[in-house]
């Protein structure tokens, strides 16, 4: 009879399995504890700068345009339709050069009415002088007649008095003669007063009417000036820069008809400085204007007190002649010198560096093979430089390029 025997257990198989499992667990733990690989940056895509200690020139930059310092705006004095344009923009003109002509029948009619009223007032003045002189002469004639009659009445009264003494006439006749003499004398006084009043007021009446004539004359001259203004002249020697209207268009009073820049042309740069950088601007500060064809030094002569669209307008007058090719409305760039800082730590301004604020930069380490993130505090800024308050030392090299894509890492490898 056969007896069933148990097979021996294969311990080697279980040992290998256990070792393999432990190994897998160990590898997994090790892999989990590994740090991510250091990202790489191509050296040719970034640029560097070294931290130095010394003088730092603070500057601000802003775009702008050249505009003439003297501009003659020619506007419409009265309404009118553009009939003819004699010259276009870019033409050299003199003070008497006719630029364009306007037409308005109403102005012509008003001028004729003003002339008629002035002529009527002159005729009225002549008629007034004539009437007043005739009235004065008539009154003088009446006074002379009254004087004669009063003298005759006085003589009759004196004669009657002599006859009454001799009882040759009755007292009643003498009394009547005396009363008549006194009445003529009184009337003579009144007529003499009337003559004096008339003579004294002649000059005033003539003066009042003369002033009216002068007023109407001024109105007529003004109307003639309006009519003459419809023939538009340059008014100054220079270059006709702009004629905005076309033939047939109707111009209202005050509308711009032309723009003349007197020669020789004196240009100034109008720069637009960001309002965050404008707090240190001051009159007289030096500036350098870049026209792309050359550089022109200048200085600030005006700072706009208001901020428009985030910028402050600054006027810079040139200290010398502008570079060749400079002309009105030419786009320029301006750099204004604010101050010179002595013995400060500074470096080229990184892309995201802000004035008086903390930030981070990548400092080059390990002989230029790697760059690591460091915390720094920026101070005062310039166009291309920034003051370092803390975080860096002289001789440190930092990456100036935008490294925002590596915000999640503290170290990069430079290939």
Predicted pLDDT of residue 14:
59
Distance separating alpha carbons of residues 232 and 12, to the nearest angstrom: 116
Q: Is residue 389 part of a domain?
A: yes
Q: Is residue 38 part of a domain?
A: no
Question: What is the number of domains present in the chain?
Answer: 3
Which among 246, 306, 251, 295 is positioned nearest to 269, based on CA atoms?
Answer: 295
**Same domain as 386, residue 320:** yes
CATH number reported for the structural domain that contains residue 93 in this entry: 2.40.50.100
**Same domain as 137, residue 113:** yes
CATH number reported for the structural domain that contains residue 330 in this entry: 2.40.30.170
Domain with 324, as residue range(s), is 43-67+266-414
Distance separating alpha carbons of residues 389 and 373, to the nearest angstrom: 17
For helices 105-165 and 171-229, the axis angle rounded to 10 degrees is 170
Burial (Cβ within 10 Å: 0-12, 13-18, ≥19) of residue 15: exposed
**Same domain as 238, residue 91:** yes
Is residue 89 a contact partner of residue 251, using CB atoms and an 8 Å limit?
Answer: no
Q: Each residue of 106-149: pLDDT tens digit?
A: 999 999 999 999 999 999 999 999 999 898 898 888 888 888 88
Q: Is residue 402 part of a domain?
A: yes
Predicted pLDDT of residue 37:
67
Burial (Cβ within 10 Å: 0-12, 13-18, ≥19) of residue 74: buried
DSSP state of 163: H
Predicted pLDDT of residue 180:
81
Residue ranges of the chain with per-residue pLDDT less than 70: 1-37
Predicted pLDDT of residue 31:
46
Q: Each residue of 154-206: pLDDT tens digit?
A: 887 777 777 777 777 777 777 887 888 788 888 888 888 888 888 888 889 99
**Same domain as 134, residue 91:** no
**Same domain as 173, residue 140:** yes
12 C-beta neighbours (distance < 10 Å), count: 8
Distance separating alpha carbons of residues 174 and 187, to the nearest angstrom: 20
The pair of three-digit structure tokens given for residue 288, joined into one six-digit string:
């350098």
**Same domain as 271, residue 400:** yes
Is residue 227 a contact partner of residue 111, using CB atoms and an 8 Å limit?
Answer: yes
**Same domain as 284, residue 398:** yes
Q: Is residue 6 part of a domain?
A: no
Distance separating the N- and C-terminal Cα atoms of the chain? 82
Q: Is residue 12 part of a domain?
A: no
Q: Which residues contact 256 (CB under 8 A, 6 or more apart)?
A: 73, 74, 75, 242, 244
What separation in angstroms does the CA of 61 have from each of 47, 287, 290, 344, 383? 22, 9, 11, 21, 6
Which among 177, 134, 131, 175 is positioned nearest to 154, based on CA atoms?
Answer: 177
Predicted pLDDT of residue 264:
83
**Same domain as 218, residue 170:** yes
What separation in angstroms does the CA of 289 have from each of 56, 70, 265, 322? 20, 19, 17, 9
């Amino acid at each position: 009879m056969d007896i069933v025997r148990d097979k021996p257990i294969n311990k080697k198989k279980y040992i290998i399995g256990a070792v393999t499992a432990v190994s897998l667990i160990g590898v997994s733990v090790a892999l989990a504890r590994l740090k991510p690989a250091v990202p790489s940056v191509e050296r040719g895509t970034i640029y560097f700068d070294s931290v130095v200690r010394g003088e730092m020139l603070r500057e601000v930059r802003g775009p702008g345009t050249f505009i003439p310092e003297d501009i003659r705006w020619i506007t419409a004095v009265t309404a009118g339709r553009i009939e003819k344009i004699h010259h276009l923009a870019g033409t050299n003109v003199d003070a008497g050069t006719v630029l364009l002509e306007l037409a308005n029948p109403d102005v012509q009619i008003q001028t004729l009415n003003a002339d008629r009223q002035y002529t009527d007032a002159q005729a009225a003045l002549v008629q007034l002088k004539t009437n007043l002189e005739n009235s004065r002469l008539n009154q003088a004639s009446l006074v002379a007649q009254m004087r004669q009659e009063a003298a005759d009445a006085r003589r009759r009264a004196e004669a009657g008095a002599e006859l009454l003494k001799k009882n040759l006439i009755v007292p009643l006749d003498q009394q009547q003669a005396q009363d008549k003499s006194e009445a003529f004398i009184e009337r003579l006084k009144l007529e003499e007063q009337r003559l004096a009043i008339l003579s004294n007021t002649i000059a005033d009446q003539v003066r009042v009417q003369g002033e009216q004539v002068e007023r109407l004359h001024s109105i007529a001259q003004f109307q003639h000036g309006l009519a003459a203004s419809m023939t538009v002249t340059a008014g100054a020697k220079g270059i006709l820069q702009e004629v905005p209207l076309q033939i047939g268009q109707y111009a209202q009073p005050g509308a711009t008809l032309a723009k003349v820049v007197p020669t020789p042309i004196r240009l100034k740069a109008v720069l637009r400085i960001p309002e965050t950088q404008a707090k240190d601007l001051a009159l007289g500060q030096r500036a350098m204007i870049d026209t792309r064809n050359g550089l022109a030094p200048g200085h600030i002569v005006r700072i706009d007190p208001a901020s428009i669209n985030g910028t402050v307008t600054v006027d810079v007058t040139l200290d010398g002649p502008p570079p060749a090719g400079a002309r009105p409305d030419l786009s320029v760039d301006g750099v204004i010198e604010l101050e010179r800082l002595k013995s400060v730590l500074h470096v080229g301004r990184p892309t995201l560096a802000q004035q008086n604020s903390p930030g981070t930069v990548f400092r080059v380490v390990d002989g230029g093979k790697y760059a690591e993130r460091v915390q720094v505090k920026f101070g005062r800024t310039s166009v291309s430089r920034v003051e370092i308050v803390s975080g860096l030392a002289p001789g440190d090299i930092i990456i100036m390029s935008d490294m925002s894509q590596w915000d999640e890492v503290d170290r990069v490898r430079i290939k």
